[in-house]
């Protein structure tokens, strides 16, 4: 898939929001990617995951892992695209843990997936959880890399789309200085 096709699909599904948002990383941004808006359309997500799978290189993947909640559906569909099993990890006391009977075999190859990456903090925590479980993490994949390629996991990182979307520390946020109300989109039922 070309980047323009991916961006059009994200916009058409209402996944690109504009305003003043609190990101999972704690940073602020004028743009938020609510990828769950795409995930409500199975055919759209399947198309994106097939496109992302075609961009992957490296050893065959045996398991695809995503963070709960946002990465549950993504991990499942990405696993289908690469012919692997899917699982997710849940946050417990600020770290991710495999629960609900999920286990990995020693040295089982694992791809960590995220919908959108800003600083890479969640993916790093998920890498730690998968390695603690015995997996050999061979890469990270995301629908959108909103850092413009600045994030380095020390592993191959593949994104379907790379965007350079500015984010700010709260004390440096120009939107805060302008008095624009801050929205926490992950806690809003409306998404924005």
The pLDDT-based confidence of 187 (bands split at 50, 70, 90) is: low
CB atoms within 10 A of CB 86: 21
How is the chain split into domains, by residue range? 3-187
Predicted pLDDT at 191? 39
Phi, psi of 15 (to 5 degrees): -85, -15
Pick from 65, 159, 175, 147: nearest CA to 112: 65
Contacts of 168 (CB under 8 A, 6+ apart): 27, 28, 29, 174, 175
Sign of CA dihedral 89, 136, 25, 43: negative
Q: Is the pLDDT of residue 192 over 50?
A: no
Q: What CATH architecture does domain 3-187 belong to?
A: 3-Layer(aba) Sandwich (3.40)
- In the structure, what pLDDT confidence band is assigned to residue 185 with cuts at 50, 70 and 90? confident
**Nearest to residue 126, comparing CAs of 40, 55, 64?**
64
Q: Please write the tens of the pLDDT for every residue from 131-171.
A: 999 999 999 999 999 888 999 999 999 999 999 889 999 99
What's the chain's average pLDDT? 92
Residue 182 half-sphere exposure toward CB, CA atoms < 13 A: 15
């Amino acid at each position: 898939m070309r980047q323009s096709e991916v961006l059009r699909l994200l916009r058409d599904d209402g996944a690109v929001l504009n305003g003043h948002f609190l990101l999972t990383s704690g940073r602020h941004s004028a743009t938020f990617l609510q990828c769950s808006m795409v995930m409500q359309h199975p055919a759209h997500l399947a198309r994106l995951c097939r496109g992302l799978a075609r961009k992957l290189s490296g050893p065959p993947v045996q398991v695809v892992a995503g963070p709960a909640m946002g990465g549950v559906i993504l991990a499942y569909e990405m696993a289908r695209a690469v012919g692997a099993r899917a699982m997710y990890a849940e946050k417990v006391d600020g770290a991710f843990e495999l629960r609900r009977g999920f286990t990995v075999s020693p040295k089982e190859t694992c791809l960590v997936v995220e919908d959108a990456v800003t600083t890479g903090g969640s993916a790093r925590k998920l890498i730690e959880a998968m390695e603690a479980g015995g997996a050999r993490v061979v890469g990270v994949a995301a629908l959108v890399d909103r850092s413009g390629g600045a994030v380095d996991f020390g592993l191959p990182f593949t994104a379907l789309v790379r965007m350079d979307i500015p984010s700010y520390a709260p004390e440096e946020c120009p939107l805060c200085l302008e008095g624009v109300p801050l929205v926490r989109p992950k806690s809003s039922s409306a998404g924005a």
